[in-house]
């Protein structure tokens, strides 16, 4: 049986901390500040279920780059649509995959975002037709509309978000206190008191996920 020393005994209330003795991670504060409510989760179980369902709705395929057709949407001339071999419906690129697509064909992403959609389509189509790699791997997801979530080289290896969360759950359980690893709680900067026992809410959670990433801080 493992015995905790006096310094290792679990705390039962808030306690003062000296932040000068640790490391400040600005990334954590940034995630907390910018994440919208629908990307915040109260437990690892809830987060895992959502990203697993997203993976189940996703499909990857490797296609010839010259076989991909880029066009401005028929109903909206300012929206791009891609026709991918093996799929009859048009695929809408996300902000992320559009940047990947531009990088893949050597087009300046920031400039391409400023062009009218018809001109963007012409430039991307030219890049795909002359792409030296010849093959691209797409990640498509059906979440109310068919989206192109990612476009990479054909040899790209993907670790799904739910696989990452599953690995963390083997150590941290549900992330809400059933193991020693949990959502860390709240630091009162006025008194320098850390309270690890606050309720986990949308405001206090540090479990985040979107359609393209996962960020966990325990």
Q: What is the pLDDT along the chain (218 residues), one digit of tens a residue?
A: 334 444 555 555 677 777 777 777 788 888 888 999 999 999 999 999 999 998 999 989 898 888 889 888 666 656 788 888 888 888 989 898 999 989 888 889 999 998 888 889 899 999 888 877 688 899 998 877 888 988 888 888 888 999 999 999 999 999 888 888 989 888 777 787 888 888 889 999 999 998 888 999 98
Rounded to whole angstroms, how far apart are CA atoms 71 and 90?
9
pLDDT at 45: 95
What H or E segment, with its residue span, contains residue 170? helix 161-172
For the chain, which residues make up each domain, given as ranges?
18-52+160-216, 58-152
Q: What angle, 0 to 180 degrees and rounded to 10, lies between the N-to-C axes of helices 95-105 and 117-129?
A: 50
pLDDT at 197: 82
pLDDT at 80: 86
CA-derived radius of gyration, the chain: 22
Half-sphere exposure of 217 (CA within 13 A, CB side): 16
Question: Number of helices and strands (H, E) in the chain?
Answer: 6, 12
Query: Quick check: pTM over 0.95?
Result: no
DSSP letter for 204, please: T
Three-class secondary structure of residue 62 per DSSP: strand
Contact 117, 92 (CB under 8 A): no
Contact 204, 168 (CB under 8 A): no
Contact 143, 191 (CB under 8 A): no
Rounded to whole angstroms, how far apart are CA atoms 106 and 98?
12
Rounded to whole angstroms, how far apart are CA atoms 140 and 107?
22
Residues 6+ apart with CB under 8 A from 96: 149, 150, 212
């Amino acid at each position: 049986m493992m015995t905790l020393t006096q310094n290792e005994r679990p705390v039962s209330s808030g306690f003062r901390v000296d932040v000068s003795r640790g490391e400040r991670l600005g990334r954590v504060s940034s995630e907390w500040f910018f994440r919208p409510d629908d990307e915040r989760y109260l437990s690892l179980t809830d987060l895992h279920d959502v990203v697993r369902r997203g993976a189940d709705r996703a499909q990857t395929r490797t296609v010839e780059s010259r076989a991909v057709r880029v066009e401005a949407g028929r109903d909206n001339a300012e929206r791009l649509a891609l026709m991918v071999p093996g799929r009859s419906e048009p695929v809408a690129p996300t902000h992320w995959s559009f940047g990947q697509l531009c990088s893949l064909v050597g087009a300046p992403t920031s400039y391409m975002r400023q062009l009218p959609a018809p001109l963007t389509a012409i430039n991307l189509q030219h890049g795909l037709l002359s792409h030296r790699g010849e093959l691209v791997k797409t990640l498509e997801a059906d979440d109310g509309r068919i989206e192109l979530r990612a476009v990479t080289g054909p040899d790209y290896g993907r670790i799904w978000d739910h696989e990452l969360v599953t690995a963390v759950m083997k150590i941290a359980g549900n992330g809400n206190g059933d193991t020693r690893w949990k959502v860390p709680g709240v630091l009162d900067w006025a008194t320098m008191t850390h309270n690890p026992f606050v309720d986990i809410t949308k405001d206090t959670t540090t479990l985040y996920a979107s359609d393209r990433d996962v960020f966990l801080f325990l």
